[in-house]
Structure 1
Amino acid sequence: MIKLRIMGIITMLCSLLGCTAQTKGFESIGAEKFEQIIADTAKVIRLDVRTAEEYAEGHIDGAMNIDVLKDDFKDNAITRLPKDKTIAVYCRSGKRSKKAAGILAKQGFNVIELDCGYIGWTKADKPVTR
């Protein structure tokens, strides 16, 4: 009887954790795959969610900048980003872009996120604009 209860609890926890993992609503990908996807500028919008100062120091070519740390991020993104295109989001290291990707996914955007951030992008020797 105790064994059945424990198995039931384990099954329930696995189900809950599995559902949580599947509901983030976006895909985190590495620099190689990110580069391939953002090459299709007709279908993809590049979005840098760092500060304006960070963006000015260097960014992925063609990226627009909307700072995820500003209070108006969600409203600004909804106003400026088209929902019929994939939003390819990145930040410095991947933390802020995951936050931004989650916000955008909840608003109905199709989102991919650069897992390694701008730091990983430059370490992979990918092109940047300064």
Structure 2
Amino acid sequence: MFDFLKSSSNYQNLTPAQFAEGLREPGAVLLDVRRPDEFAAGHLPGALNLDVTAPDFAQRVAALDKTQPTYVYCRSGARSANAAGQIGSAGFAHVRNLLGGVLDWPEPQVR
């Protein structure tokens, strides 16, 4: 397996194609973990904005349904990998991280 596809024990890294496919799961939750200004400049359709650097990030994550598949992304994949690890450690069952972030996302973003 390629090193960049390795995942931690509590989340899985997905390529953009795998991520797009996974978003079709019933009940999938899409989280954009960038800053609000980055989110406002363009994000994936249907995304919720939970800034991973905000002091209340863990509290906001705790309010989500841990049983739903959770898909996380940021600009390049670094912050979302951090966020995915935190979310997985918080007891979420199915956490997925977008490799390459929106920089590698092939579809248009919405504002």
CA distance in 1: counterparts of 2:31 and 2:68, whole angstroms: 12
From the superposition, tell whether residues 99 and 22 of structure 1 become closer, same or farther in structure 2 (CA, over 3 Å). Answer: closer
- The corresponding residue for 2:108 is 127
Unaligned runs of 5+ in 1: 1-20
- State how far apart, in whole Å, the 2-side matches of 1:69 and 1:120 are: 22
Return the offset for 1:92.
0.5
Deviation at 1:126, TM superposition (A): 1.4
Secondary structure of the corresponding residue to residue 21 of structure 2: helix
Residue 31 in 1 paired to residue 16 in 2? yes
Match of 1:16 in 2: none
Tell me which stretches of 4 or more aligned residues in structure 1 moved more than 6 Å: none
Task: From the superposition, tell whether residues 95 and 78 of structure 1 become closer, same or farther in structure 2 (CA, over 3 Å).
Answer: same
TM norm structure 1: 0.76
Q: Structure 2: which 5+ residue stretches go unaligned?
A: 1-5
State the shift of 1:24 in Å.
3.4
Superposition pairs for residues 106-121 of structure 1, below 5 Å? Answer: 106-109=89-92, 110-121=94-105
Report the Cα distance in structure 1 between the residues aligned to 2:29 and 2:7, rounded to whole angstroms.
24
Count of residue pairs the alignment pairs up? 105
- What RMSD, in angstroms, separates the aligned Cα atoms of the two structures? 1.5
Bigger Rg, which one: 1
Higher relative contact order (CA 8 A, sep 6+): 2
Distance 2:7 2:77 in 1: 19
Cα deviations by residue, 1:85-123 (Å, 9 ceiling, x for unpaired): 0110000000000000000000111200001101111xx
Structure 2-normalised TM-score? 0.88
- Out of 17, 42, 53, the position equivalent to 1:69 is 53
Q: Distance in 1 between matches of 2:20 and 2:7?
A: 24
Residue identity in the other structure for 2:28: V
Identity among equivalent positions (%) equals 35
1:64 maps to a residue whose letter is L
